Amino acid sequence: MGSAIPKQYLPLNGQTVIEQTISRLLKHPTIEAAFISISSTDEWWPDTAYANDPRVMRVGGGAERCHSVLNALNKLSEQARPADWVLVHDAARPCLRDSDLDLLISSLANHSVGGLLGMQVRDTMKRTSADNGVNGTVDRNRLWHAYTPQMFRFGLLWQALTDALESGALVTDDASAMELAGYTPLMIEGHSDNIKITRPEDLALAEFYLQQQEIISS
């Protein structure tokens, strides 16, 4: 992002990015609590609106995303049962629609494993060499962009992530860990405005999406 502070604490439509994200989750009637993986050197979290919220538990972050998720699951193990559902969501995805969250939860309610939100690939996909020369076109049929939240049974995800890291696999999302463990997550199609803020222009786009969502819901 090139900013002086981490992207999750940048202002977005009257709140910080992470406040927008947490609020989307906590207002859902089936979500009981949120475990937030944050670096021990993070100096901005205490100033957020949710730092002292009894529903929110701060957990130490890790070297990679998968380590942070496992840290949260380890803490959650003190109270969660193996069959409980857990949702893993990126703090940098503040535009999650209520309807997409509803769809994910309802679609997976009776699923034995779980799944994730995503969008089918619409653009032509190219594979390149190390110097960015195009050396092939990838068939986009049945290709998806993987989003979050990703929703799995607590016990299965905890074991799958533990096994993946012990084998040296630094999985980039939770569904990957489940796939390595031999499970088949279900893909649920959501909306394309569930973007991950990665570049400076994404912040302006996220603000636009949030404002449009407010118009639609009013």
All domains in the chain, ordered by first residue: 7-217 (3.90.550.10)
Query: Does residue 55 surpass a pLDDT of 80?
Result: yes
Query: What average pLDDT does range 185-190 have in this prediction?
Result: 97
Spatial distance between the Cα atoms of 194 and 191, rounded to a whole number of angstroms: 6
- The first and second tokens of residue 218, run together, are 């009013």
Residue 3, pLDDT > 90, answer: no
d(CA 70, CA 67): 5
| pLDDT of residue 210 exceeding 80 | yes
Q: Residue 216's pLDDT band (boundaries 50, 70, 90)?
A: confident
Average pLDDT of the chain, as a whole number: 95
Spatial separation of the C-alpha atoms in residues 205 and 158, rounded to whole Å: 34
pLDDT in tens, 129-166: 999 999 999 999 999 999 999 999 999 999 999 999 99
- Confidence band of 12 (pLDDT split at 50, 70, 90): very high
Give the pLDDT score at 4. Answer: 86
Taking CA atoms, 50 is separated from 42, 45, 71, in Å, by: 15, 8, 19
